[in-house]
Amino acid sequence: MVGLLIDRYGWSTSVWIITVASTVFMAALIALFRNWPSDKGLLPYGATSEVSTGRTEKTIDRQRVTQFTGYMRRTKAYWNLSSIHFLGCVGHAIILVYLVPLAMREGLTLVTAPAC
C-alpha cells in the first residue's frame, strides 16, 4: 500500500498522507479505549451488581523504584534479555530493509516488491 502511495504521489506527499492518517487513527483509538469499564459507566464482565474495583490513587515510592531499577540493571539476566532483543530486532531489520531492493533488482516494481 505504501508502495502504491509512493508510486502515485511521490515520497513527500506519501509521508504526509501516512502521518495524517496515523494521527487521525490514533486519536480515534484514544477516544474509544478506556482503562476500566467504570470509565464508560459499565460493570466489569460477569458482574451482576456494583463491585468495588479496588482502585485507589497510587503514589509511587520513588526510592523503592530507583532501588529496584538499580538492582535489576546489575543482573546478568537483564543484560542478556536486552541484548538478545536488540540483536533480534537488528537481524529482522537487515532482512526487511534489503528485501525490497533485492526484489526490485530481480525485476519487480516498487509496488509489487514489498508484497513478496
44-74 confidence digits (pLDDT tens): 888 777 666 555 555 567 788 888 999 999 9
What does the pLDDT read at residue 116? 67
Can you tell me the mean pLDDT for 86-93?
93
Are 111 and 3 in contact by the 8 Å Cβ rule? The answer is yes
State the pLDDT confidence band at 111, using cuts at 50, 70 and 90: confident
Model pTM score: 0.46
Evaluate the CA torsion angle 76, 81, 84, 85 in order and state its sign.
negative
Cα 13 to Cα 19: distance, rounded to the nearest angstrom: 10
Cα 40 to Cα 52: distance, rounded to the nearest angstrom: 15
Arithmetic mean of pLDDT over the chain: 85
91-102 confidence digits (pLDDT tens): 998 888 888 888
Distance of CA 42 to the CA centre of its chain: 28
Are 89 and 102 in contact by the 8 Å Cβ rule? The answer is no
